[in-house]
Amino acid sequence: MYLKRFTSVSIVIIAFLYGLTAFAQDKFRVTVDFGKTLSQLVSDGQYGWVAPDINDKLFQISGSGVVQTNLVLVHLNRSASTQEVLDEIGKNNLVPASIEHLLAFGAIFSNEQIRYPIVALGSVARITDGRLIVASLWRKGGQRILRRGWFENDWPSHIRFLAVQK
């Protein structure tokens, strides 16, 4: 056990020293019902608070039917721009999750967002002041919330990004 832990730590330190990107993934299987409205998907998640910008007008459901999907939580272990995150997701044969995926995930795996924030970069909306937003699962105290994130900002190292396996 000690040797295994030492080896894992050594690899992370070596990767850091050489500037290599650490890329961690956790996999989840969900069913996405594209026949539901955004309001229904939000209701399924039973969030304690929902940002007013997460609405049917800004985020429209695309797709049809009920689909089983393999989702991946991507953790870069470093701060990164949105473009850097999208590049890493693409390099790993993944695509950014849409808001439908995020909400289906949040309804089933509700404890994940208590552990760390989760962002879906696959659905982007423009708000009235022209800035771009994405949906994200966060916590405030012990409460699960659905909020917006700024698409153009850099993301802190503790964020996870939801992606879909191709």
pLDDT at residue 16, rounded to an integer: 37
CB 161 within 8 A of CB 126: no
In the predicted model, residues of the chain with pLDDT beneath 50 are 1-21
pLDDT at residue 24, rounded to an integer: 66
pLDDT at residue 120, rounded to an integer: 98
Q: In the chain, what are the domain boundaries?
A: 22-165
Our CA dihedral for 34, 39, 44, 50, rounded to 10 degrees, sits at: 130
The count of residues in the chain is 166
Q: Which long-range contacts (CB under 8 A, 24 or more apart) does 63-68 make?
A: 63/32, 63/34, 63/98, 63/100, 64/34, 64/35, 65/34, 65/35, 66/31, 66/32, 66/33, 66/34, 66/35, 67/31, 67/32, 67/34, 68/29, 68/30, 68/31
CB 166 within 8 A of CB 94: yes
Overall fold of domain 22-165:
Mannose-Binding Protein A; Chain A (3.10.100)
Q: pTM here?
A: 0.85
pLDDT at residue 23, rounded to an integer: 63
